[in-house]
């Protein structure tokens, strides 16, 4: 390698690989937890009309007043709770890392979990401590609390529900982690639209609790809008690190418009939840497969031993792209499928059945 690169770039960067995004052209895309539906036809014209008024010549409103007020109202945030918008929640994870990097304390999360926590921690020169979940993907509270005491992490991430396992962690264990942590605990509710529980109601009760959400998984992945909620003094500090115009004009206008027409997206979410039930039941009936219960818009399932990669490739040859997780620690023989439209799910089940 180039000597200048060697001497200039951080070791973690040189050792890292770029976040892989597979080529999905021509395939039924069930790999990335996207909502499979476009905006309903009857909304599209009104949405485009709202964009016609957007002032592309001006910088975006750095505080996104209209959108923030709408979110605060819909989430019923108390006055003492701050709200920080990001260019997707990925950006907020990065911003949290920037805020605490350099103090020598690591980022900690139960694993397997959302990979960006570790990738972004290490990109900022922080250590990442992964505490293994139990075999059934529940939290191991003793191991987790011991790790929190031992490593004193600056940040603990709890994806709730967890990606890629789909389950919600035990609430009592999360409260215990909040009490045991001298750092911040971020409950990442990227899948809140599909889930039966939330930690939003506990905001302000623990002074180190932050709750993060995103519009990506409920149909607006292309907009890139995530948001972080927590005690106002914390949000005010973090806000100093936010790039002033991180949420662009088109996203601000579109997200506000769509939040005002939330019932249309809600109908899509309902149908995805219904299909999740059908998909789970169908996977349970297929020979040799073990699906895991999910509170999100995807299902993790275990294939017969040693066959995950072959099944993943067979699906791709059959025109279906899902996610192969069999190389991830704790997920031997596991694949993850995003819930699609009824037709997409039926096509997936059909090809899968021929492979078993
Ligand atoms: C998808 C995902 C995110 C990232 O969401 P964006 O807002 O699209 O950046 C964050 N956390 C978890 C757990 C996710 O699965």
Kindly tell me if the per-residue pLDDT of 18 is higher than 90. Answer: no
Stated pTM of the model: 0.96
pLDDT value for 331: 97
Cα(149)–Cα(137) distance, integer angstroms: 22
Kindly tell me if the per-residue pLDDT of 6 is higher than 80. Answer: yes
Residue 82 · residue 236 · CB < 8 Å: yes
The secondary structure of residue 169, as a DSSP letter, is: P
Q: Which residues contact 299 (CB under 8 A, 6 or more apart)?
A: 166, 276, 279, 280, 283, 291, 292, 336, 337, 339
Q: Which residues contact 329 (CB under 8 A, 6 or more apart)?
A: 111, 112, 132
Please choose from 214, 215, 223, 294 the residue to mutate so as to test ligand 1's pocket, defined by most ligand atoms within 8 A of CB. 214
pLDDT value for 16: 85
Nearest protein CA to atom 1 of ligand 1, as residue: 190
Half-sphere exposure of residue 253, counting CA atoms within 13 Å on the CB side?
16
Kindly tell me if the per-residue pLDDT of 19 is higher than 90. Answer: no
Q: What lines the ligand 1 site, CB under 6 Å?
A: 33, 88-90, 114, 159, 163, 188, 190, 214, 216, 221, 226
From ligand 1's centre to the CA of 140, what distance in Å?
23
Nearest protein CA to atom 2 of ligand 1, as residue: 190
Could you identify the atom of ligand 1 that is nearest to the CA of residue 86?
Answer: 7
pLDDT digits (tens, 9 = 90+) for 63-114: 999 999 999 999 999 999 999 999 999 999 999 999 999 999 999 999 999 9
Q: For 120-135, give one letter per residue: b (16+ CB within 10 A) or e.
A: bbbbbebebbbbebee
pLDDT value for 83: 98
Residue 231: in which H helix or E strand, if any? strand 226-231
Cα(285)–Cα(356) distance, integer angstroms: 12
Residue 279 · residue 337 · CB < 8 Å: yes
pLDDT digits (tens, 9 = 90+) for 249-292: 999 999 999 999 999 899 999 999 999 999 999 999 999 999 99
Instruction: Give the relative orientation of helices 249-260 and 41-52 as an angle to the nearest 10 degrees.
Output: 140
pLDDT value for 36: 96
Kindly tell me if the per-residue pLDDT of 147 is higher than 80. Answer: yes
Pick from 1-10, 26-35, 165-174: least confident: 1-10
Could you identify the atom of ligand 1 that is nearest to the CA of residue 92?
Answer: 9
Could you identify the atom of ligand 1 that is nearest to the CA of residue 225?
Answer: 7
Could you identify the atom of ligand 1 that is nearest to the CA of residue 113?
Answer: 13
From ligand 1's centre to the CA of 343, what distance in Å?
25
DSSP string, 310-335: HHHHHHHHTTEE-EE-TTSTT-TTEE
pLDDT value for 10: 86
Residue 325 · residue 301 · CB < 8 Å: no
Could you identify the atom of ligand 1 that is nearest to the CA of residue 217?
Answer: 1
Nearest protein CA to atom 11 of ligand 1, as residue: 190
What is the pLDDT of the chain when averaged over all its residues? 96
> pLDDT class for 11, splitting at 50, 70, 90?
confident
pLDDT value for 231: 98
């Amino acid at each position: 390698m180039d000597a200048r690169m060697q001497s200039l770039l951080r070791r973690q960067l040189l050792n890292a690989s770029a976040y892989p995004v597979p080529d999905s052209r021509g395939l039924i895309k069930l790999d990335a937890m996207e909502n499979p539906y476009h905006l309903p036809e009857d909304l599209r014209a009104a949405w485009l009309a709202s964009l016609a008024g957007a002032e592309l010549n001006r910088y975006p409103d750095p505080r996104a007043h209209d959108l923030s007020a709408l979110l605060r109202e819909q989430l019923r945030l108390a006055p003492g709770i701050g709200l920080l918008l990001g260019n997707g929640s990925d950006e907020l994870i990065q911003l949290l890392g920037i805020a605490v990097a350099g103090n020598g304390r690591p980022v900690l999360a139960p694993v397997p979990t959302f990979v960006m926590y570790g990738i972004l921690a290490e990109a900022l020169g922080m250590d990442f401590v992964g505490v293994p979940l139990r075999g059934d993907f529940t939290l191991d509270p003793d191991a987790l609390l011991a790790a929190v005491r031992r490593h004193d992490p600056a940040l603990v991430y709890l994806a709730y529900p967890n990606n890629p396992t789909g389950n919600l962690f035990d609430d009592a264990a999360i409260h215990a982690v909040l009490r045991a942590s001298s750092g911040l605990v971020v409950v990442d509710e990227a899948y809140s639209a599909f889930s039966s529980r939330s930690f939003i109601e506990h905001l302000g009760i623990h002074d180190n609790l932050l709750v993060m959400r995103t519009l990506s998984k409920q149909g607006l992945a292309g907009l890139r809008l995530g948001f972080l909620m927590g005690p106002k003094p914390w949000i005010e500090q973090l806000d100093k690190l936010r790039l002033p115009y991180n949420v662009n004009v088109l996203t601000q206008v579109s997200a506000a418009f769509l939040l005002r027409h939330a019932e249309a997206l809600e109908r899509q979410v309902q149908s995805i939840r219904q299909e999740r039930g059908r998909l789970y039941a169908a996977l349970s009936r297929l020979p040799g497969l073990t699906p895991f219960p999910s509170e999100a818009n995807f299902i993790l399932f275990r294939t017969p031993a040693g066959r995950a990669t072959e099944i993943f490739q067979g699906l791709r040859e059959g025109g279906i792209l899902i996610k192969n997780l069999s190389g991830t620690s704790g997920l031997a023989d596991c694949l993850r499928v995003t819930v699609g439209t009824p037709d997409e799910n039926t096509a997936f089940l059909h090809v899968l059945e021929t492979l078993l």
